[in-house]
Amino acid sequence: MFRKKKKETLNIVTIGHVDHGKSTLIGRLLLDTGSLPKEKMSEINRISRELGKDAELAFITDQLKEEREKNITIDTTQIFFNSRKRNYVIIDAPGHVEFLKNMITGASQARAAVLLVDAKEGIQEQTKRHAYLIKMLGIENSIILCNKMDSVNYDHDLFEKLKNDLLYFFKDLNISPLSVIPVSAKEGDNITENSRKMPWYTGPSFLKALDSIRTLSDDSIKPLRFAVQDKYFIDGKSIIAGKVISGTITEGGKTVVYPSLAQTAIKQIKVFEEDDRKSASDGENIGLILDESISVERGDFLLDKQVDRQTSFLTDIFWMSKKPMCVDSAYILRCATQEVQCKPVKINKRINSSTLEVIEENAKELHLNEAGEIIFQTDKPIIMENFDYIEELGRFVIEQDYNLLGAGIKKHS
**Residue 290: CATH number of its domain:** 2.40.30.10
SS3 label, residue 327: coil
Question: Is residue 97 located within the same domain as residue 119?
Answer: yes
Helix, strand, coil content of the chain in percent (nearest 5)? 20, 40, 40
| Residue 398: alpha-carbon gap to chain centroid | 16
Instruction: Examine the domain organization and report whether 252 and 170 are in the same domain.
Output: no
For 370, how many CA atoms within 13 A lie in the half-sphere containing its CB? Answer: 22
Domain boundary among 195, 211, 227: 211
Whether residues 322 and 340 share a domain: the answer is yes
Shared-domain flag, residues 49 and 160: yes
Q: Quick one: pLDDT at residue 39?
A: 62
Q: What is the pLDDT of residue 215?
A: 65
In a domain, 64, yes or no: yes
Q: What is the pLDDT of residue 395?
A: 84
- Residues near 392 by beta carbon (within 8 Å), at least 6 away in sequence: 245, 246, 336
Residue 15: its pLDDT value, please? 80
Question: Does 322 map to a domain?
Answer: yes
In this prediction, residue 192 carries a pLDDT of 87
Residue 177 lies in a domain: yes
Domain boundary at 211, 230, 260, which? 211
Q: Give residue 98's pLDDT.
A: 44
* One domain, residues 18 and 101: yes
Q: How far is CA 38 from the centre of its chain?
A: 30
How far apart are the C-alpha atoms of 410 and 135, rounded to whole Å? 13
Residue 3 lies in a domain: no
* Strand residues in 93-176 grouped as ranges (E): 112-118, 141-147
Is residue 157 domain-shared with residue 15, that is, in the same domain? yes
Domain membership flag for residue 140? yes
Query: Same structural domain for residues 79 and 55?
Result: yes
Q: Does the residue 1 lie in any domain?
A: no
272 in the same domain as 175: no
Determine the pLDDT at residue 219.
Answer: 59
State phi, psi for 163 to the nearest 5 degrees.
-60, -45
178, containing H or E segment: none
Domain residue limits at 20: 9-211
230 shares a domain with 183: no
Q: How far apart are CA 411 and CA 399, in angstroms?
A: 20
CATH number at residue 88: 3.40.50.300
Rounded Cα–Cα distance for residues 340 and 180 (Å):
41
Task: Give the number of domains in the chain.
Answer: 3
Q: What is the block-wise mean pLDDT of the chain (413 residues), using blocks of 10 residues?
A: 54 78 76 66 62 53 43 48 75 49 52 89 84 74 93 96 92 88 92 94 93 69 91 86 92 93 92 80 89 88 88 90 94 93 96 82 93 94 87 87 87 75
CA torsion sign, 346 to 352 to 355 to 361?
A: negative
What pTM did the predictor assign? 0.66
Given this model, what pLDDT does residue 323 score? 94
Is 2 a domain residue? no
Based on the fold, state whether residues 194 and 233 are members of the same structural domain. Answer: no
What's the CA gap between 70 and 92, in Å, rounded? 16
pLDDT at 307: 85
Question: Where do the DSSP E strands lie in 291-402?
Answer: 301-303, 310-319, 325-326, 331-335, 338-352, 358-363, 365-366, 370-382, 395-400
Last residue of a domain, one of 303, 335, 355: 303
- Tell me: do 148 and 18 sit in the same domain: yes
Tell me if 4 is assigned to some domain: no
List phi, psi (to 5°) of 159.
Answer: -60, -45
Q: Say if residue 84 is in the same domain as residue 55.
A: yes
